[in-house]
Amino acid sequence: MRKIFWLIIFLVFGLQTVNAQQLVEAIAAIVGDQIILKSELDQFVQNYIVQNKLDITPGSEAYNNLRKKMLGGLIEQKVLLAKAKADTITVDDQMLDQRVEERIKYMIQQVGSQDKLEKIFGMSMNQIRKDTRKMIKEQLLVEQVRAKKFRGMKVSRREVEAFYKMYKDSLPVRPATVDISHILMQVKPSEEAQMKAYQKAEMILKELKAGADFAQLAKKYSDDPASAKRGGDLGWTKRGDLVPEFENVAFKLKDGEISGIVQTQFGFHIIQLLERRGERIHTRHILIRVQPTKADEERVVKELENIRQQILNGASFDSLALKYSDDPNVKKDHGHLGVFELDKLQIPQFRAVLSKMKPGEISEPFKTEYGYHIVRLNAFTPAHKLTLKDDWEEIQKYALNYKMQTEYQKWIKELEKHIYIKINET
C-alpha cells in the first residue's frame, strides 16, 4: 500500500518537473494516506499567532518551538481524521459556513482590516477563506470523533477523592467570587434628539437618490465605525445575525436596491442589499445614531436613585428589577446576573464598584457602555484553596478532565500503532 501511495505521488508531481528533493521539502509529514504540506503547517501556525495576538517572528526560537508543537497537533488531527473517515462521520455544512464566517470576522478584527490580513498571510481573501474552511472542517470532524469516544464518561466519588489527594497541592487557588444582581436603565434620547438624527438620515437618503456614491457617504456619515471604513459593508449574514427590524427590510430588498430609513435600537439605518443567496444576504448600511443629551442622563440617574431608595426602605429588589430594568433577560432572571470571579469581570466599572462593597449593599448609580446600573452584592466568597467540602463540583470537573486527557493520550497512541506516520519536518 505504501509503495502504491508513493507511486501516485511520483506520477502526480514528477510530471510537473518537481525533483525528489523539492517534493520532500514540500511535505512536512505523512499520516496514512494524508500529507501535511509545509504550507499547510505555515498557515496553521500563522492562524494561531493571529488569533492569540502573539508577537513571534518567523525563524525565532519561539516560532520554531510553536511550529514543532503545531506539527504534533496536526499529526494527531490527521490520525483522528482517518478515524472519522472509518466511522463515516460528516460535518453539517450550515454549521461549517457559520464557523468559517465567525473565524474570518474574528481574524479581521484582530489585525484591523482585510488588506492587513491578506498581507500577513500572503494570499487573497478567497484563498484564506478556502484554507480556513478546510482547517475548520477538519477540526469539526475531530471534535465529533472525540465527543463520540468520550461522551458519557464520568468520574466516581472515589476517583474524585483520589485525584484530590494526589493533586491538591497543584490545584489553583480559587479566586474571589461575587454573586450579583443589577437593575439597568438605558439612556433613551429625547424626541428632539431623535428628530435631529432622523433629519440627518433624510438628508443622506436624498443625496443617494440624487446619485451619490453609497460607499463614500457611509465613510463620511455612518456612526458604525467598523463598517464605515469598508464603505458600510457588513459582509454576508444569515437570518438571526442582525436585529429583526434590520433583517425584515433587508430580506425584502432586490439586489442593488436601497431602503428607506429603518429604525432599530442602534439608531436610523439606510440599507443597500448587494446580493442575496437563499437565506444569506450581503448588505451595507449607513447608521445615524441618536445621541442622548446630558439632561437625558441626569433623568435616568435620578430614577435609579429613587429605585435604590425604595429598595433600602424595604421594597423587593426582584420586583423593581422586573418593573424597571432594561436588561433583556430580566423576565427570566429578575436582575440576577450570577456568580463571577471578581478580577475577571469584563466590565471594569463593575469591578471598581463591587470591590468596595459588602454583601447586602446596593450601589449608587454608575455608568457603563450599556447604560446606568445599580448593583446589589448578594454574596462574596474570598480567594481560597480548593477543598472537597466547599468546592466539590469544581474538583470533580478537574478530575473528569484529567481522566479524559489520560484516556485520550492512551487512545491516540493506540490509533497511531495502526497508521503509517513519517515526519520530514525537523
Q: Are residues 241 and 275 in the same domain?
A: yes
User: What is the structure's pLDDT at 25?
Assistant: 53
User: What is the structure's pLDDT at 2?
Assistant: 40
Q: Are residues 280 and 308 in the same domain?
A: no
- Which of 288, 306, 341 is where one domain is finished? 288
User: Is residue 4, in this structure, part of any structural domain at all?
Assistant: no
Model pTM?
A: 0.56
The domain of 356 spans 177-189+293-381
Task: Give the Cα separation of 281 and 287 in Å (integer).
Answer: 18
Domain count of the fold of the chain = 3
Q: Are residues 58 and 148 in the same domain?
A: yes
Q: Supply the DSSP string of 39-84, one letter for each residue.
A: HHHHHHHHHHHHHTT----TTSHHHHHHHHHHHHHHHHHHHHHHHH
Q: Supply the DSSP string of 187-215, one letter for each residue.
A: -PPPHHHHHHHHHHHHHHHHHHHTT--HH
Q: Are residues 28 and 128 in the same domain?
A: yes
At 229, is the secondary structure helix, strand, or coil?
A: coil
- Which of 270, 288, 306 is where one domain is finished? 288
Average pLDDT score over the chain? 89
Task: Give the Cα separation of 23 and 26 in Å (integer).
Answer: 5
Task: Give the pLDDT band of residue 54 (cuts 50, 70, 90).
Answer: confident
The H or E element spanning position 282 is strand 280-288
Q: Are residues 231 and 334 in the same domain?
A: no
- How far from 273 is each of 80, 237, 254, 355, CA to CA, in Å? 42, 11, 7, 48
CATH, residue 334: 3.10.50.40
Q: Are residues 330 and 369 in the same domain?
A: yes
End-to-end CA distance of the chain: 26
Q: Are residues 281 and 338 in the same domain?
A: no
User: What is the structure's pLDDT at 359?
Assistant: 97
* Residues 413, 85, 74: CA angle, nearest 5 degrees: 50
User: What is the structure's pLDDT at 426?
Assistant: 58
* Residues 39, 145, 157: CA angle, nearest 5 degrees: 125
Q: Are residues 366 and 419 in the same domain?
A: no
- Tens-digit pLDDT profile for residues 175-208: 999 999 999 999 988 888 899 999 999 999 999 9
Task: Give the Cα separation of 353 and 350 in Å (integer).
Answer: 5
Q: Are residues 181 and 217 in the same domain?
A: no
